[in-house]
Chain A
Amino acid sequence: MAVRFTNPLNSDQFRKAVNTDPEFKIAARYMTKDACIEVGEVRCIVKFRDGIVSQIKTEATFADPWDFAIRGSVDAWEKFLQLVPPRFYDGLFAGMIRGNFRIDGDTISAFSHFWAITRLLDIFRELQNK
């Protein structure tokens, strides 16, 4: 299974879907952060500006700055993105408890915007399975 949100061809579609989602709009208010999402060796930067995803920068490099990073293996993300994920991959929090995902960097910012982040990833799952 190819992880769709890291594909540059999908960036605009994913960004628009997130920004038009009613729950995300509420959850992400006041959020201005750069989140690095790592899928194995591949990384993309999701830029949040005043509650809007202004850019999903795929093929990001070590030179791209970020506030916090959400990291998991390719296998972990593939399980997470299944329509009905297996246990310990069914959410970021469950995955972190079991060591399948981790958050690095400014973890306080990540947890203070955890609702927005988890909604973003749920939308990514919905789009992955469309």
Chain B
Amino acid sequence: MLKIEPIVGRYIYLTVQGTEYRIYYEESGKGIPIICQHAGGSQTLEWRFMLNDPEIISKYHIVSADLPYHGKSLPPDSIEWWKEDYKLTKSFFMDFQLELSRALGLQRPIYLGQNSAGFLALDLALEHPDDFRAVIGVNTSIKGGPSTMERYYHPAIGNNYKRATALAFCAPTSPEKLRRADSWCAMLSAPPVTGGDLYFYFYEHDLTGKTHLIDTSRCAVYLLTGEYDSTSSIEDTIELAKQIKGAKFTEMKNMSHCGMPENPELFKTYLMPILNEIAIQSDKKQR
């Protein structure tokens, strides 16, 4: 019997910070829009379970795009990008979300991201609270640790390094076939792409002294962190949540750094109460 998924993939042209990009994105479902942003050195594949889940897509419109230089989104045609290292800046990362939302006509979407994309959730809540009804940051902290991004530019460090580290970023209790698939996905992005994404993670995201400025009455903030995550520990995220009035934190037992792709069924048990709460709040505001 023919099996076809509900996911539709297309290309859209977005102009971000004056440069036009041909962007690959996938979408499915109808309802409250959710932008699902992939992590550093990853791509939309990371959100395939979200895009395919019948319960989720019956109530929510899921959109996931490959950032430029990732997946099926090539570097832009109009600049000589090969003459400098790729580096993801906070302003670009935020502007990309805003332009994607505008171009697709999304009405104050929920933003959902994990790891570096989870860090961005907080930056969006701080700087663009009126453009998102809520943000969900998976495995986040106030700032990244000491940088290890330079390692990714060494010619001796290949994609198998990424394979091994991605495996290490899944909980030992997560299903092996999913851990292996996630490590394969991580390997599909070249090391310098990961290194460039980590520029945002290590050098650009820093909420020190700014967390009290996040207004959760304008943009709700939800934080989820995996028990095993070594980069943003549960203690790191609890500290972050304490500093944001109204932020809600949930520890994800038996999960680690990779979030949904390492164990989608378990991840969903943590995600759905949040989505349902946001949906109820959205209904109240509409009345």
Within 151-183 of B, Cβ neighbours of A (below 8 Å) are at: 151, 154, 156-158, 160-161, 163-165, 167-169, 171-173
For B256, list chain A residues within 8 Å (CB).
Answer: 90, 94
Smallest CB gap from B187: residue in A: A115
CB-CB under 8 A from A88, the residues of chain B are 228, 230, 233
> Which A69-94 residues have a C-beta within 8 angstroms of B?
84-85, 87-88, 90-94
Among residues 10 to 65 in chain A, which have CB atoms less than 8 Å away from a CB atom of chain B?
27
Q: Is B246 part of the contact surface with A, judged by Cβ < 8 Å? A: no
B76 near A: Cβ within 8 Å? no
Residues of A within 8 A of B161 (CB): 111-112, 114-115
Min CB–CB distance A111 → chain B (angstroms): 6
User: A129 → chain B, closest Cβ, in Å?
Assistant: 12
A108: interface (CB < 8 Å): yes
**Is B164 a contact partner of A87 (Cβ separation < 8 A)?**
no
Task: Report the separation of the CA atoms of residues A97 and B145 in the bound assembly, to the nearest whole angstrom.
Answer: 9
Is B231 at the interface (CB under 8 A from chain A)? Answer: yes
Interface residues in chain A, defined as those with a beta carbon under 8 Å from any beta carbon in chain B: 27, 84-85, 87-88, 90-95, 97-98, 108-109, 111-112, 114-115, 117-119
Main secondary structure of the interface of B (DSSP, over half): loop
- How many pairs, one residue from A and one from B, have CB atoms within 8 Å of each other in the complex? 64
A87 and B228 alpha carbons, distance in the complex (Å)? 5
Q: Which residue of chain A lies nearest to B148 when distances are taken between CB atoms in the complex? A: A97
Show 7 A/B contacts (Cβ-Cβ < 8 Å), sorted by A. A87-B233, A88-B233, A90-B228, A94-B169, A111-B156, A112-B154, A115-B164
Let me know if B215 is at the binding interface, CB within 8 A.
no
Which of B156, B160, B229, B231 lies in contact with A115, CB distance below 8 A? Answer: B160
CB closest chain-A residue, reference B156: A112
Q: How far is the CA of A111 from the CA of B168 in the complex (A)?
A: 13
- Asked if B157 and A93 make an inter-chain contact with CB atoms under 8 angstroms apart, the answer reads no
Does B95 touch A at the CB level, under 8 Å?
no
Contact residues in A for B151 (Cβ distance below 8 Å): 111
A92-B168 in contact (CB<8A)? yes
The answer on a CB contact under 8 Å between B230 and A98 is yes
Residues of the B chain whose Cβ atoms lie less than 8 Å from the Cβ of A119: 164
Residues on the A chain within 8 Å of B206, using CB:
none
Q: In the bound complex, do residue B157 and residue A108 qualify as a contact, i.e. CB atoms below 8 Å apart?
A: yes
Q: A84-B172, A87-B227, A88-B233 are in contact. List 14 more A-B contacts (CB 8 A).
A: A90-B171, A90-B228, A91-B168, A92-B168, A95-B230, A97-B231, A98-B233, A112-B154, A112-B157, A112-B158, A114-B161, A114-B164, A115-B160, A115-B163
